[in-house]
Amino acid sequence: MAENLEFNKNEDWLKLSVSAMRKHLHRIYKGGGHKAIEKLHEQGKLSARERINLLIDPETDFMEIGAFAGFDMYEEYGGCPAGGVVTGLGYVSGRLCVIVANDATVKSGAWFPITAKKNLRAQEISIENRLPIIYLVDSAGVFLPLQDEVFPDKEHFGRIFRNNSVMSGIGIPQIAAIMGSCVAGGAYLPILSDEALIVEKTGSVYLAGPYLVKAAIGEDVDSETLGGAATHSEISGVTDYKMPDDATCLATIRNLISRHGHAATAGFDRIEPQPPALPEQEIYGLYPEEGKKPYDMLEIMKRLADGSEVQEYKAGYGRTIICAYARIDGWAVGIVANQRTVFRNKKGEMQLGGVIYSDSADKAARFIMNCNQKRIPLVFLQDVTGFMVGSRSEQGGIIKDGAKMVNAVSNSVVPKFTIVIGNSYGAGNYAMCGKAYDPRLIVAWPSAKIAVMGGEQAAKTLLQIQVASKKKQGLQIAPEEENRLLQEITDRYNRQTTPYYAAARLWVDAIIDPLETRRVISMGIAAANHAPVTKPFNTGVLQT
């Protein structure tokens, strides 16, 4: 009975967390709001999301990436929902493509710093997976109040055009549709693409708009004459196709994509998919409220795997990490997951769940090497508090074994996919293929927490630093003031560990309902299968 109560309590908490996430998304999907969308319609234009819905194949999924970009950021400028651009993976005429669509309802599609970062992430996904990329351009250019954070640095606005050129050189198809404004440096994006379409009356592309031309050289010229569809389709030759409206433009893109040749695949193994034998819905009740109690990660894995079949590797060794072969939606995968149960090892020593010990790091490194040897994609399920500390661990070579695991992850040549289920703390984040280790996709459940250490530990450490600093100045802090400071630090730190904080900054690609995990992994491997693995696997020097 107690177990049922615990299960129901967990289920309610995680379902409420998913519901809160969906409410946030519902607001984000409105972009600049209903009035802004109506204004587009009056101009004969569709919104970014309406354009994507018309572009992708009917009854197929659009896997959005970066929906939470800019979340709770730029409030002094009125916010920037989804970073002012919608990006993701979708099927167009049966081909999996990366899609980038400026949202003109958000500051006329102007580029904030997070907009540039999100566009670069979309291009990165296209390059890594050798996927065609489609740009639906409708942007007023750089958001001038923040130009110093958008324009000059290596990973800023200009990198996008550099990527356009490099992608063209390595044979990644790029199609751009000018469906609204396309000004200044942004004008290079569609013209650096393989083919460019422009919509009559609404599409315009020029290096300088009418006002700037007037100021610079004194010429009076209207927008259509300067850079409209007729000018660039019939006089300058800048664009390739003149389209009467958005719908025709999107249909033409579908037609162009349908003629693309088919390249060699990576050959990742896939058989007929089957659902898990155990109910996926039970994941809600298996994951503990706030992630505070131990649980058996293997039970969650069984509800993600086809037929609930999981083949463990070295099941009795290094038990705080589970390594296993499975299939997800038919695809063969190797899973590396943090085990959260507490148990005694063969020596009778108590081991904490979610902590990486020497033996578990050694096992994981060897398993990762095996998956590279066999060309099996890797899936990391993160709920990690870090590596084990203390004299016994240090003398046992935890740094050496941890380095071995990090080395194997870093040099892995098969595609990697990371799901942050719960904790993602410190060096554990790195070893379990955090953002810095090039996962093809990294997503989080609403239960995720990402930080250098847990909130309670961090807050106490930061408080000690502040107290010590004041003591050096000859100041004493009363217990009441110390408690107030601790609470203030804890609240601030906890805000920074949420999945929303991470997703706003694109440290993760998406926050997902746990029941979407199989779909994300499957679509990710389908994308990765477009890019044959040509680089040899070599870990370099490993300390043994």
- Give the per-residue pLDDT at 185: 65
- Spell out the SS3 assignment of 441-510: EEEECCCCEEECCCHHHHHHHHHHHHHHHHHHCCCCCCHHHHHHHHHHHHHHHHHHCCHHHHHHCCCCCE
- Fold (CATH) for 1-30+264-454+498-533: 2-enoyl-CoA Hydratase; Chain A, domain 1 (3.90.226)
For the record, the structure tokens of 213 come out as: 């031309």
Q: What is the mean pLDDT of residues 453-473?
A: 77
Residues pairing with 311 in the sheet: 325
Q: Phi-psi bin for 327: left (phi > 0), alpha (psi -120 to 50), beta?
A: beta
The two beta strands, 331-338 and 321-328, are antiparallel
Question: Per-residue pLDDT averaged across 342-371, rounded?
Answer: 86
**Out of 222-231, 249-258, 412-421, 427-436, least confident range:** 222-231
More confident residue, 292 or 508: 508
Average pLDDT estimate for 396-416: 91
- Stretch(es) of the chain classified as CATH 3.90.226.10: 1-30+264-454+498-533, 33-258
- pLDDT for residue 484: 84
Q: What is the CB neighbour count within 10 angstroms for residue 487?
A: 12
Burial class (CB in 10 A: 0-12, 13-18, 19+), 252: middle
Does residue 451 contact residue 497 with C-beta atoms inside 8 Å?
yes
Question: Per residue in 56-72, pLDDT tens?
Answer: 999 999 999 999 999 99
383: CB partners within 8 A, 6+ apart: 291, 297, 337, 338, 340, 354, 421, 422, 423, 424
- Residues 196 and 205: their CA atoms lie apart, in Å, by 11
Give the pLDDT of residue 498.
96
Neighbour count for residue 265 (Cβ, 10 Å) = 13
Q: What does the alpha-carbon distance between residue 524 and residue 532 come to, in Å, rounded to a whole number?
A: 14
As a whole number of angstroms, the distance between CA 237 and CA 235 comes to: 6
**82, 106 Cβ separation under 8 angstroms:** yes
Q: How far is CA 463 from CA 227, 458, 460, 486, in A?
A: 59, 8, 5, 6
Cβ pair 403, 427 in contact under 8 A: no
Amino acid (one-letter) located at 517 = T
Please give the average per-residue pLDDT across 61-90, as a whole number: 97
In the CATH hierarchy, which top-level class contains the domain 33-258?
Answer: alpha beta
The whole-number pLDDT of residue 367 equals 98
Q: Is 93 helix (H, G, I), strand (E, B) or coil?
A: coil
E-strand stretches of 329-415: 331-338, 343-344, 350-351, 355-356, 378-384, 386-387
Q: What is the DSSP string of 267-325?
A: ---B------SS-GGGHHHHSPGGG-S---HHHHHHTTSGGG--EEESTTSSTTEEEEE
Q: What is the pLDDT of residue 230?
A: 92
- Do residues 350 and 304 touch, judged by C-beta distance below 8 A? no
pLDDT above 90 (res 135): yes
User: Is the entire prediction scored with pTM above 0.85?
Assistant: yes
pLDDT of residue 492: 85
Average pLDDT of every residue of the chain: 92
Q: Mind listing the pLDDT tens digit for each residue in 485-503? A: 888 888 888 889 999 999 9
How many angstroms separate the CA atoms of 94 and 76, rounded? 42
Contact between 322 and 298 under an 8 Å Cβ cutoff? The reply is yes
Residue 389: what pLDDT?
A: 67
- The closest alpha carbon to 417, from 323, 524, 341, belongs to 524
pLDDT at 313: 98
Give which of 387, 319, 313 is closest to 349, Cα–Cα.
319
Beta bridge partners of 101: 86, 136
What Rg value do the Cα atoms of the chain yield, rounded? 25
Three-state DSSP state, 243: strand
Supply the pLDDT for residue 2.
59
User: In Å, how far are 146, 153, 228, 432 from 111, measured between CA atoms?
Assistant: 9, 15, 22, 33
Q: Flag whether pLDDT at 455 surpasses 80.
A: no
CA distances from residue 333 to 328, 330, 371, 525 in whole angstroms, order as listed:
7, 9, 8, 9
Question: What are the CA-CA distances from residue 354 to residues 383, 429, 502 (Å)?
Answer: 6, 11, 21
CA 245 to mean position of chain CA atoms: 32
Of all residues in the chain, the percent with pLDDT exceeding 70 is: 99
pLDDT at 1 over 70: no
- Tokens representing 310? 């999981």
